Amino acid sequence: MSALARPLGPSTVHAVIDMQRLFMEGTAWGSPNTRRVVAPIAQLLSHRPSAAIFTRFITPHRREDAPGAWDHFYSHWPDVLLEKMDPAVLDLVPELGAFVPPGEVSDKITYSAFADGDFAERLRRRGADTLVFSGVETDVCVLLSALDAVDRGYRVIIATDAVASSVDKAHEATLEHVYPRFDAQVELATVAEIMAAWQPAESRS
């Protein structure tokens, strides 16, 4: 029995936010917590492989290429500028990149998946009405993307055991206090609960 109020229909999209090598341990933005959610995300992807849209956070080549106050932001993070970093670090982690295709990839240069790039258009082409969010970070890119989805009228579900942050307290506070503030529009569920509500599973041929 799923904890979700309603089953998930064919117009559901799994938005996998920024599961890139950039956010794995060993980079300036990396965290061991990112590795922790690779397996549950892969489990959800296996359940509905064609429903996935992966976002990638693309950093600028130089600080001067960043718009507005982002220039100041990158003054604190010079090591993630492409002039100093191997572009391959922007790739999806290999275990999840294996799901493309059938999954799609949408690049962005800001926190929210909706702020730039073609994510919104990809949703429109699919006729999406529900978004299941996984990925990183719970309190930054996942949060901003989820709230933008709320504003656009999507049903929003956070896969609680498939999101992570480099800051444990911020991760916990967002799940326990921020998302519940939107309890009429944001649902929280585990991967197992989401899969139970999203039947039958696809077969990967």
Tens-place pLDDT, residues 90-149: 999 999 999 999 999 999 999 999 999 899 999 999 999 999 999 999 999 999 999 999
In the predicted structure, residue 152 carries a pLDDT above the cut 60:
yes
Number of domains observed in the structure of the chain? 1
Give domain status of residue 3, yes or no: no
Mean predicted lDDT score pLDDT of the chain: 94
User: 105 burial class (0-12, 13-18, 19+ CB within 10 angstroms)?
Assistant: middle
Query: Which pLDDT value is given to residue 140?
Result: 98
Given this model, what pLDDT does residue 111 score?
A: 97
User: In angstroms, what is the C-alpha Rg of the chain?
Assistant: 16
- The Cα–Cα gap between 46 and 145 comes to 23
Instruction: Please give the average per-residue pLDDT across 182-196, as a whole number.
Output: 96
Residue 21 lies in a domain: yes
Q: Are 52 and 14 in contact (CB under 8 A)?
A: yes
- Before 102, cis peptide (omega within 30)? yes
pLDDT at position 3 over 90: no
CA-based angle 26:90:171, to the nearest 5?
60
**What gap in Å lies between CA 51 and CA 62, rounded to an integer?**
34
Confidence category of residue 202, pLDDT binned at 50, 70, 90: low
Under 8 Å between Cβ of 82 and 61: yes
Q: What's the rounded mean pLDDT across residues 174-195?
A: 96
Question: What is the reported pTM?
Answer: 0.95
Q: What are phi and psi of 30, to 5 degrees?
A: -80, 155
Its domain, for residue 81, covers 12-197
- Structure confidence at residue 2 (pLDDT): 47
Q: Is residue 143 part of a domain?
A: yes
Asked if residue 129 is part of any domain, the answer here is: yes
Residues 46-72, mean pLDDT to the nearest whole number? 96
Domain with residue 93: its CATH number is: 3.40.50.850
Instruction: Tell me whether residue 205 is in a domain.
Output: no
Domain membership flag for residue 204: no
Looking at the domain assignment, is residue 6 inside a domain? no
- The side-by-side arrangement of strands in the sheet containing 12-17 is 104-108, 52-57, 12-17, 130-136, 155-164, 186-189
Task: Report if residue 2 sits inside a domain.
Answer: no
| Percent of the residues in the chain that have a pLDDT greater than 90, as a whole number | 93
pLDDT digits (tens, 9 = 90+) for 90-101: 999 999 999 999
pLDDT of residue 1: 36
Q: What value does the mean pLDDT take over residues 152-158?
A: 98
Span 16-21, average pLDDT: 98
The identity of residue 74, as a single letter, is Y
